[in-house]
Structure 1
């Protein structure tokens, strides 16, 4: 079985191979993702761990699924992932497991945030749906904070800056579904809109109004 560092190195090599295949320089990739060229270089060398937002944005630019980006999953008529075969990766946000298959239109990940952790602010094309499986999470969309209790969900335009934090004492587990569908590599990420529809969160009144 491969250990964590071996898996991280494989992800780094895959990132480098995808960029080479696309014919993009680090500077060109930086322009299309909004990430710095030095940071992207460190990702490809395995010196830094990517955040979930970074993975979604890179998958969009390369026109691949997150599963192919992270694990090189082959295509097929359908994708079946047994629980025993799911691989957890260590990212900057915490541990994440890619649950979706090679189709790039929808990406599904399970993310585990340790106590006191906060994800980097992310912004990528498409829509995103978050569902708290366990714990208490703090969610910020365009500067607007929302507390998400276990069982709550939020659906939003992922082109707006957003971040997630662990607001409790235990691990927070979140299911993230993103429609970060691929677009041509020459198409830049759209700017964040301050006039987008306000965040809509599924809520249980008793959990909010204590």
Structure 2
């Protein structure tokens, strides 16, 4: 995972340099301090997908490029076989598997997300990003946090929400929770 974080940071820094974007401007796009943004570019700490999404959206590039370094190329359809989507282990708590990384100009970003249990913690990191998001629980249970509300979601449940609102997830029952997430 450490090498993946370094490579993502390198792509993020390279994008900013190629587009001649000041670090302060990139930080403002992300809604964070310049110091925090430069920490992400350093490759020493993980970069939340919400930050990568904001950068990709603002500067008109595919999120896949920042996550994997590969350009999408399919125009009509893209097939992702079981367990073969580009993986991105963004934090120890969440693992993302991209489901449409080869389709160019996507309107949405579909992922299978695995939320690992944190038995000794009830602290949840809340994210925000532009747009809307749909989550459908495939396996397990989780508490979904949004705007100071806690909602228990079980297999077969779904939630659709304004992803500009602070939101986060916590797997329940000391088991992982897997869900389909589509970011629009």
TM-score computed with the length of structure 1 as normaliser = 0.75
Name which of structure 1's ranges 30-39 and 93-102 shifts more when overlaid on structure 2: 93-102
Is the Cα contact below 8 Å between 2:29 and 2:54 reproduced in 1? Answer: no
Shift of 1:168: 2.2
Q: Does 1:82 align with 2:81?
A: yes
1:17 aligns with 2:14: yes
For residues 11 and 99 of structure 1, do their structure 2 counterparts lie closer, same or farther at Cα, with a shift above 3 Å needed?
A: same
Q: SS at the partner of 2:169? A: strand
| Alignment RMSD (CA, Å) | 2.0
Match of 2:147 in 1: 142
Moved more, 94-103 or 127-136: 94-103
Which runs of 5 or more structure 1 residues have no equivalent in the other structure? 180-210
Name segments (4+ residues, structure 1) moved above 6 Å.
none
1:6-155 → structure 2 map (5 Å cutoff): 6-74=3-71, 75-77=73-75, 78-83=77-82, 85-92=84-91, 93-101=93-101, 102-116=104-118, 119-155=124-160
Q: Which blocks of at least 5 consecutive residues in structure 2 are unaligned?
A: none
Matches of 1:46 and 1:97 in 2, distance apart? 21
Between 1 and 2, higher relative CO (CA 8 Å, sep ≥ 6) is seen in: 1
Structure 2 vs 1, CA of residues 38 and 61 (structure 1 numbering), >3 Å: closer, same or farther? same
Q: CA deviation at 1:132?
A: 1.1
User: 2:179 pairs with 171, 174, 182, which one?
Assistant: 174
Q: How does 1:191-206 map to 2 (within 5 A)?
A: none
Relative distance call for 1:120 and 1:61 in structure 2 (3 A) is farther
Deviations 1:150-201 (A, max 9, x none): 111000111222111112211111211011xxxxxxxxxxxxxxxxxxxxxx
CA drift of 1:84 comes to: 5.2
Aligned residues, how many?
176
